[in-house]
Amino acid sequence: MTGEVAVLGAGMHPWGKWGRDFTEYGTAAARAALADAGLEWSAIESVVGANTVRCGYPGQVAGATFARALGWQGAKVTSVYAACATGARAIDTARAQILSGMADTVLVVGADAAPKGFFAPAGGERPDDPDWLRFRVLGATNPAYFALWARRRMALYGDTPEDFARVKVKNAAAGALNARARYRSRVTAEEVAASAVVADPLRLLDICATSDGGAALVLGSMEVARRRGIRRPVRIRAVSSVSPRHPRTALDLPDIATDSAPAAGPGDDPFRPSIARAAYEEAGLGPEDLSLAEVYDLSTALELEWYEDLGLCGAGEGAKLLREGATALGGRIPVNPSGGLASFGEAVPAQAIAQVCELTWQLRGTAGDRQVAGAHTGITANQGLFGHGSSVIAVC
């Protein structure tokens, strides 16, 4: 187990479709995190910016972009990119700087101004880019990939569209309690079933939107937390950023084909379960220790997959866990008490940071009507394009 770092402050810009520059969302989130930490911007020694490839050159030098917007004050700047895992990589980079003694206080910030509809590759002819190829050769949008995973669950485990709809109903109920969420209306299973088919069997309300938004954290050393009189700070105990192993026998983006190993079964350590497993090992904890989880519900079916990958239940038992009410607010292990991407939508560089913001508020006991009673340990999980794992464990 490595050392811990303290979450001194957490802040977000509400998610939505605002049509403004991403820098505005990130600086608003950063100022909110600084205010939450009770620190002036001048006290920050390092800034780690989570990059967005959609926002031009400033988006790809996010650390400096946000530092400039907040006002140059000499802090170190770092910019990172790992697709949907970018926020977790930014947190891990900040943690490494603190644990190594390079900085005592680090601001982590990510924001995005997303396109309407689904994400597409950046422009230009790039035949060596597998993400570009899957669109050009196969026309395989993200919703098509989500649908393949849903069909896989239906074939292997007997999951039904009604099970998928239950995920949306659960997350919408939590999102209705979250003032920072984009969608704050409860949804019925009948409304999910009546929404348009996007990629069979998934309907419009089964798939998360693309959004604008920003999130930020102020991380510090445990010594800084003590000096500031914080007796029980929320602490980052583990960050997992693992990559896959061969053979890969499950379909994954952007590589539509699986590994050429027709005689091989699944490897001993499949990618998605390995993400959480590495975090558990580093933290010295297991799924039985969790109070809540924030997972990457790009689609309702993919949330069920995460239940199993996190070890909350056995393979094929995700829908059963959902039907029992275990993952709803008030259940044994609430999943996505924030409302998840179902309620927020994707703002890619910000979303893994936003997950840790939610853990922070839950572990502090300040999450209001969506508070998980007695929350003391939480985990996040998502997966970035091109084999980026992402999981954070926080404790209090």
Domains of the chain: 5-116+213-234 (3.40.47.10), 143-208+235-395 (3.40.47.10)
Q: What average pLDDT does the segment 153-182 reach?
A: 98
More confident residue, 254 or 131: 131
Q: What pLDDT score does 1 carry? A: 61
Q: pTM for this structure?
A: 0.95
**Strands 388-395, 377-384: pairing kind:** antiparallel
What one-character-per-residue DSSP string does 326-339 give? TTSTTSSS-B-TT-
pLDDT surpassing 80 at residue 64 = yes
Contact (Cβ atoms closer than 8 angstroms) between residue 18 and residue 212 = yes
Distance CA 44, CA 104 (A): 8
pLDDT digits (tens, 9 = 90+) for 338-394: 999 999 999 999 999 999 999 999 999 999 999 999 999 999 999 988 889 999 999
Q: What pLDDT score does 234 carry? A: 98
60, with CB counted inside 10 A (0-12, 13-18, 19+), is: middle
Distance CA 32, CA 357 (A): 11
Q: What pLDDT score does 300 carry? A: 98
Q: What pLDDT score does 260 carry? A: 63
Q: What average pLDDT does the segment 227-247 reach?
A: 93
